[in-house]
């Protein structure tokens, strides 16, 4: 008995291991994280969904919590503080300190005594990465760069940037000025999505070219982010590598000898915003790379932008799910809505209430962006739009009495007319029309695809073969796993019962042996 139970227990363990391994292997085939990580050149990087910035997407990160120098990507924090605490139309006077920079610095082109609006200075800081603009902004907002740095650290702390410390407002090298790529992803997600000035921030960092015209002379500049703007050809670079990315929405570059080539990039597709932070890329300074040709320098200058695009493409492709309208409907997407006709006849059997049905093309296939990698699509929103001129009786069956819009991730995925399913005769005339009423109109419909309790999905996509619904692969996994666990528990219980019975049998055998020895001893004594 013991041998049989042991064999069953071992077999069940083997089946569990094989099942889990096969599931993991299939997942790995679909999205090879390690291969993607190894393709990224920069030593420190992270890729996050902006809606969940503290955690990398599927583990796409390397040395994400190591303290490193951020170079001019520091200006993301400077920009958001200035936007939140300043007035864009304020005129800012440029001090001597703001223009005290030598050769090799990225500058907006300011001169002492210049006056420009805070708006122009922010563009001058974020597009060409002007250190002079950063100083002028900090002095205007806080009185000094030191006091502004205090604001930077306060802001960082409030956002949960626990591994960062800021000393400069522009990111020029300072050993006490450091951060991590995870902290900067958190900051960027806040600036894009959570800040009260997020729209202004998005507009600035996504601008390709800008002319500051509020001062005594116009200053024009181009964004240094090559995901947005191609590097113009020059005599040294007649054919620079193009790094344009159609879904890029900007952010910030950085470059110092100590920090290397740095980039914070963001992209947006179908309502999903991704953020890539890449630090420590190869330097192009000839002092550190003697003998490099201009072409090789340009290739490595382009590498951070190419790596950001590589990460964006891989993740967006992984997020895409294909589903048909009929599958959405079969899994709960509402297509009928109640409509109250205000001037219906008094003898109307349903009191003037009728149902309007969305006239959808059920065979239409949709490609949806699914931010969560667990195979679930949720939060489908529905907006019902009544056509008021057709809401009075008489209503004839088949009349269009409104329309409905379905959206997901802020993207419209389907629109349809609402068609009356019956006729309604005219009654008392009234001047007010009661709009469409429905418990699920104008509200999100969650878990239509891949809901927690939905059993009609395979890998997050609903299945309808006309004979009912079928459990998803993830549901099968849990069903099989639960069955195996139950079998294991049964085996353990049987084994424990076996041990208990064996113990009792041995105790009984000992008692019998003791009684036998006692009888034998008694008989031996009587013979003597």
* Residue ranges of the chain assigned to CATH 2.60.410.10: 331-470
> What is the rounded distance in angstroms from the CA atom of residue 168 to the CA atom of residue 78?
10
- CATH top-level class of 31-320: alpha beta
Averaged pLDDT of the chain: 81
Q: Lowest-confidence range among 246-255, 390-399, 424-433, 449-458? A: 449-458
**Which residue is listed with tokens 């005599």?**
235
pLDDT, greater one: 273 or 333: 273
**SS3 assignment for 45-82:** EEEEECCCCCCCHHHCEECCCCCECCHHHHHHHHHHHH
481-504 per-position pLDDT tens digit: 788 888 888 888 888 888 888 888
> What is the rounded distance in angstroms from the CA atom of residue 420 to the CA atom of residue 396?
7
* 151: annotated active-site residue: no
Residue 62 has pLDDT above 70, yes or no: yes
Q: Lowest-confidence range among 30-44, 67-81, 132-146, 152-166? A: 30-44
pLDDT band at 438 (very low <50, low <70, confident <90, very high): very low
Q: Lowest-confidence range among 86-95, 111-120, 467-476? A: 467-476
Per-residue pLDDT, averaged over 365-381, amounts to: 69
pLDDT, greater one: 406 or 163: 163
pLDDT, greater one: 71 or 411: 71
> What is the rounded distance in angstroms from the CA atom of residue 435 to the CA atom of residue 387?
9
| Catalytic, out of 56, 95, 129, 164 | 129
Give CA separation, 157 vs 70, 149, 162, 164, in Å: 17, 12, 6, 8
| Token pair listed for 186 | 């958190």
Beta carbons within 8 Å of 401's beta carbon, 6+ residues apart:
339, 356, 386, 387, 390, 391, 395, 418, 419, 420
Per DSSP, what are the bridge partners of residue 412?
A: 407
> What is the rounded distance in angstroms from the CA atom of residue 260 to the CA atom of residue 280?
4
Separation of CA 41 from chain center: 23
What integer pLDDT is reported at residue 527 of this predicted model? 53
Q: Lowest-confidence range among 140-149, 198-207, 299-308, 507-516? A: 507-516
pLDDT band at 371 (very low <50, low <70, confident <90, very high): confident
| Catalytic, out of 56, 75, 95, 321 | 75
Per-residue pLDDT, averaged over 79-86, amounts to: 98
What integer pLDDT is reported at residue 382 of this predicted model? 76
* 456: annotated active-site residue: no
| Catalytic, out of 72, 378, 438, 456 | 72
* 522: annotated active-site residue: no
Structural fold of domain 331-470: Peptidoglycan synthesis regulatory factor (PBP3), Domain 2 (2.60.410)
pLDDT, greater one: 216 or 458: 216
pTM of the entire predicted model? 0.69
* Residue ranges of the chain assigned to CATH 3.40.710.10: 31-320
């Amino acid at each position: 008995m013991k041998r049989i139970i042991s064999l069953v227990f071992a077999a069940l363990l083997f089946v569990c291991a094989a099942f889990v391994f096969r599931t993991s292997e299939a997942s790995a085939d679909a999205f090879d994280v390690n291969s993607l990580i190894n393709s990224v050149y920069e030593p420190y990087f992270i890729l996050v969904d902006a809606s969940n910035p503290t955690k990398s997407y599927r583990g796409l990160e390397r040395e994400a919590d190591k303290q490193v120098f951020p170079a001019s990507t520091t200006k993301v924090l400077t920009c958001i503080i200035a936007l939140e605490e300043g007035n864009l139309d304020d005129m800012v006077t440029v001090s001597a300190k703001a223009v005290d920079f030598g050769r090799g610095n990225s500058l907006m082109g300011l001169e002492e005594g210049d006056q420009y609006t805070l708006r122009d200075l922010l563009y001058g800081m974020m597009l060409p990465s002007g250190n002079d603009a950063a100083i002028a902004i900090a002095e205007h907002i806080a009185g000094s760069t030191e006091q502004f740095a205090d604001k930077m650290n306060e802001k960082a702390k409030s956002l949960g940037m626990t591994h960062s410390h800021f000393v400069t407002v522009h990111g020029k090298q300072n050993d006490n000025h450091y951060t991590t790529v995870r902290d900067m992803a958190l900051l960027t997600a806040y600036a894009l999505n959570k800040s009260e000035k997020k729209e202004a921030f998005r507009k600035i960092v996504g601008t390709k070219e800008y002319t500051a015209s509020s001062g005594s002379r116009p200053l024009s500049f181009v964004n240094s982010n090559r995901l947005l703007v191609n590097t113009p050809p020059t005599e040294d670079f007649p054919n620079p590598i193009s790094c344009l990315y159609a879904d890029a929405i900007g952010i910030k570059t950085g470059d110092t000898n100590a920090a290397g080539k740095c980039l914070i990039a963001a992209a947006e597709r179908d309502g999903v915003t991704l953020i890539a932070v890449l630090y420590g890329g190869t330097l192009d300074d000839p002092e550190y790379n003697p003998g490099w040709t201009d072409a090789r320098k340009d290739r490595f200058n382009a590498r951070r932008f190419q790596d950001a695009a590589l990460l964006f493409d891989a993740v967006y492709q992984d997020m895409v799910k294909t589903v048909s309208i009929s599958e959405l409907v079969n899994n709960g997407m509402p297509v009928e809505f109640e409509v109250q006709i205000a001037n219906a006849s008094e003898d109307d059997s349903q009191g003037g209430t009728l149902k309007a049905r969305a006239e959808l093309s059920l065979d239409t296939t949709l490609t949806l962006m699914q931010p969560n990698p667990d195979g679930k699509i949720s939060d489908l929103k529905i907006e019902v739009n009544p056509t008021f001129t057709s809401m009075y009786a008489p209503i004839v069956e088949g009349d269009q009495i409104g329309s409905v819009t379905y959206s997901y991730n802020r993207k419209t995925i389907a629109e349809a007319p609402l068609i009356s399913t019956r006729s309604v005769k005219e009654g008392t005339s009234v001047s007010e029309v009661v709009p469409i009423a429905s418990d699920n109109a104008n509200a999100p419909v969650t878990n239509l695809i891949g809901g927690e309790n939905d059993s009609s999905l395979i890998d997050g996509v609903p299945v309808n073969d006309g004979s009912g619904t079928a459990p998803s692969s993830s549901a099968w996994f849990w069903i099989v796993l639960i069955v195996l666990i139950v079998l294991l528990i049964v085996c353990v219980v049987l084994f424990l019962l076996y041990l208990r019975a064996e113990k009792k049998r041995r105790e009984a055998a000992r008692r019998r042996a003791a009684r036998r020895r006692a009888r034998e001893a008694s008989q031996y004594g009587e013979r003597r």
